[in-house]
Amino acid sequence: MSKSLLIGAVKRAAPEIPADVAKGIVDSVLETISSELVTQGSFTLHEVGSLSLQHKPARRGRNPATGAQITIEPRTAVRYRVSSVLAGRISQQLAKTRKKAV
């Protein structure tokens, strides 16, 4: 789902809200998540999952085009872990979909 589709979903859920307010809500939520990751190192939304920062050290790699050895710089990645509640909901929905297909 793209950001514009998420804004559309907010707008459909609350049709009385103008489009610019729905966009502001989505922007605010995304900014809050980003800010929490930077300041606290993690963000958890129960029933959805958690995001956390994972520091990856420098490592040796290979340029696939030339085969030359390179050093991959250290970086910080964002890791997502799905909650058991969301995983269970997805499994149930997939099971229903599979039963309908058979």
For 9-18, what is each residue's pLDDT tens digit?
999 999 999 9
- Report, as an integer, the average pLDDT of 35-50: 95
Instruction: Tell me what the pLDDT averaged over the chain comes to.
Output: 94
**What phi and psi values does residue 16 have, to the nearest 5 degrees?**
-75, -10
The mean per-residue pLDDT over the stretch 70-88 comes to 96
Q: Are residues 54 and 98 in the same domain?
A: yes
Residues 84 and 94 in one domain: yes
Instruction: Kindly report, residue by residue over 20-37, the tens digit of the pLDDT.
Output: 999 999 999 999 999 999
Q: Quick one: 35 and 46 in the same domain?
A: no
User: Could you tell me which residues are beta bridge partners of residue 69?
Assistant: 62
Residues 35 and 47 in one domain: no
**pLDDT confidence of residue 102:** 65
Q: Are 62 and 102 in the same domain?
A: yes
Domain that holds residue 50: 41-102
Higher pLDDT, 97 or 11: 11
Task: Please tell me whether residues 58 and 94 are part of one structural domain.
Answer: yes
Which residue from 46, 29, 43 is spatially nearest to 78, judged by alpha carbons? 43
Q: Looking at residue 90, which CATH number applies to its domain?
A: 4.10.520.10
Query: Does residue 48 sit in the same domain as residue 31?
Result: no
- pTM, 2 dp: 0.75
Average pLDDT over residues 77-93: 95
